[in-house]
Structure 1
């Protein structure tokens, strides 16, 4: 899996049935070995709700030689491990096991400053109160990404709540993508650098991607598991990452990541996710395809205003239209600026990049503003409020592959 500043890709090649790269059933006898696009020998094991994750993982380690990585206790029961395909087949036959899923690769979603704050009308939000006085929005937002610059002077980072699920040494950002996402959500309104949609929101860094901007689905599930364990404090989680895959029903136990997100949303966490950057139908990408999340496509906007008169800056997209790289389709719930977005960067810096990875955190900030005024609102209520407050005041180009005009984020009433 990668962040969506580049392209997301995930491969889960070993299963009885593979749907768009995600395993849709437990491993049968004689399942094929993982292919070159997967994390070879790495698996995610999802257990029944009555199973004790640590004890079952330990038992499987002893009996089948599984080298256990993450142990999941909150979003799902289960664990990740490296093991042979033969061991995976045997573990799949255990009556306590719901799913054995080959691990895969996820990545970031950035492609290319903020005009996005203007275009989302954040400066008109009474909750955001953007005036340079450094008043902070009292909401907690998890950034499930490449980590966050833990001491960036323009961010309110909850370092005590930082979690590292990746192969790195800490939750500190070694890529830049996660710090960029965090700044769009909640960069301080302190007169320096940039300002976020929900200035000063408490950022929980949840590192699931490495310095290259990619990581495994097992690491991502670890991040979702951590957020779920802290659902009494974390209200919003942003996932500007993804990979190939399709939707499934909550409770079908066909996709461990989806089950984890289903249960995290049920625990009250609102998830905003990037639609992806393949100019493709979002139905072919996860977590964008999941109904329980808020899937965000990207608008190209170069001047922070409607009308289509902005001159291109870092890219040659047409102003005030859907970004040429953005995924689209019925699974997209809302649109937000995602082209040439300036935000915070690692080592205390700033950078301008593009992608649906940059669009999603605008919506995460919008969700934070809404929840600041409506504490305890359910994820479904938050999604409906964001859509209802949105505008269609942007150019809908002829030949738009979407076929429908999504609402564009507008937080002025929050």
Structure 2
């Protein structure tokens, strides 16, 4: 059986001080007494034809400037620390085009994705989202297309990476999906890029899908088997994938469903499995692993601003804010709902991307499960599911929900 992904695709710095050319000051004139007083960094741009190195040196000597950079290619000029009086004197010289105060720049600030905000992860005392890289001590397996093993915004546990895809040679992600899922779970709270629900969680990339986003049932079982073998280290596993099937049994009687049997063994060993409901606008009972009772099945909410109440304009797709996503599967097998529309997260080559799907909703819940597991190390998968459901809210509109069941919306503020 082929298994398809459950998703829809979607510094510079400035220094100071410089050089100089014909200073515009009479050679025999005494040095201008402008070097005393408070100083500040400035950038001096010289007139066309000026020789930046000689001018910077001359002006520094005559005006008491502390020269830093000298610019000779993109423009002729220099940076320097000087008093305001010296800056005023420079502006009057014919060799000077402009003098401007130097200002600070920094790397692009970290953003909190809408889904992380809507789940109130920024209020979680365990997540501690404050721009400081304090990592949640928890291990999460991402059973997917692998991960960008060198992404600077992810805490990838390279020794735990595993390739189960018969169409791949390594756990490296050549698709993007697994990397995106990983970021929603645990992107670092390091002041850049994005942040995950459980910042800095150790990600075990388990590749079961090819770089085309497909794989075999046997590949997926290989991934589950690997997670079960490391159940003493891995607390949570996310599976943002699925295929046609149904839950015709339960643990102990799985009716020859090998994947179900494997998940039963892994959950019995203590691993909490979180899975995507599917993107077929159909009953999740028609898709596995979503239909299995032993997992936490997650449907998708359309949320465009990270806030309850609705009314926010749509961004990357035309769903209505604060409602059941138009593509999401539904039904009694769904345990929780989480944001899954226009989710910004990590991507290939150290980048970021915005995509949609129940594949994007599931890792929000996996991150929530990771937060709970980090502070409740003896909790069973059933207890973690119950805790997530108990903490969830109903503060969303299910007017467009096909089954009319208002699942609890993920909220991790108390985790």
The yes-or-no answer on 1:195 pairing with 2:195 is: yes
Displacement of 1:364 in angstroms is 0.3
Secondary structure at 1:204 match in 2:
strand
The yes-or-no answer on 1:348 pairing with 2:326 is: no
Corresponding residue for residue 404 of structure 2: 403
Corresponding residue for residue 210 of structure 2: 210
Correspondence list, 1:372-383, <5 A: 372-383=374-385
Structure 1 runs of 4+ aligned residues shifted over 4 Å read: none
Q: TM-score, normalised by structure 2?
A: 0.74
Displacement of 1:409 in angstroms is 0.1
Corresponding residue for residue 134 of structure 1: 133
CA distance in 2, matches of 1:332, 1:114: 24
* Partners of 2:298 and 2:337 within 8 A in 1: yes
* Partners of 1:184 and 1:358 within 8 A in 2: yes
CA distance in 1, matches of 2:158, 2:398: 42
Q: Which structure: larger Rg?
A: 2
Corresponding residue for residue 158 of structure 2: 159
* Partners of 1:114 and 1:340 within 8 A in 2: no
Secondary structure at 2:241 match in 1:
coil
CA distance in 2, matches of 1:400, 1:308: 15
* Partners of 2:6 and 2:241 within 8 A in 1: yes
Gaps of 5+ in 1: 1-103
Secondary structure at 1:215 match in 2:
strand
Corresponding residue for residue 364 of structure 1: 366
Aligned match of 2:283 in 267, 281, 285? 281
Secondary structure at 1:130 match in 2:
coil
CA distance in 1, matches of 2:141, 2:401: 33
Secondary structure at 1:347 match in 2:
helix
* Partners of 2:236 and 2:370 within 8 A in 1: yes
* Partners of 2:304 and 2:312 within 8 A in 1: yes
Q: Deviations over 1:343-386 (max 9, x none)?
A: 00011110000000000000000000001111120000000000
Displacement of 1:284 in angstroms is 0.4
Gaps of 5+ in 2: 11-111
* Partners of 2:398 and 2:404 within 8 A in 1: no
Correspondence list, 1:308-347, <5 A: 308-347=310-349
Q: TM-score, normalised by structure 1?
A: 0.74
CA distance in 2, matches of 1:250, 1:394: 33
Aligned match of 2:257 in 255, 258, 261? 255
Corresponding residue for residue 69 of structure 1: none
- Once superposed, what is the RMSD of the aligned Cα atoms? 0.9
CA distance in 1, matches of 2:127, 2:3: 32
Displacement of 1:400 in angstroms is 2.6
Q: Deviations over 1:87-120 (max 9, x none)?
A: xxxxxxxxxxxxxxxxx10121222492001100
CA distance in 2, matches of 1:173, 1:369: 25
The yes-or-no answer on 1:388 pairing with 2:390 is: yes
Of the two structures, which has the highest relative contact order with CA contacts closer than 8 Å and spacing of 6 or more? 1
Corresponding residue for residue 105 of structure 2: none
Between the two proteins, the alignment pairs up a number of residues equal to: 310
Displacement of 1:251 in angstroms is 2.1
Displacement of 1:217 in angstroms is 0.5
Corresponding residue for residue 22 of structure 1: none
CA distance in 2, matches of 1:144, 1:346: 17
Secondary structure at 1:394 match in 2:
coil
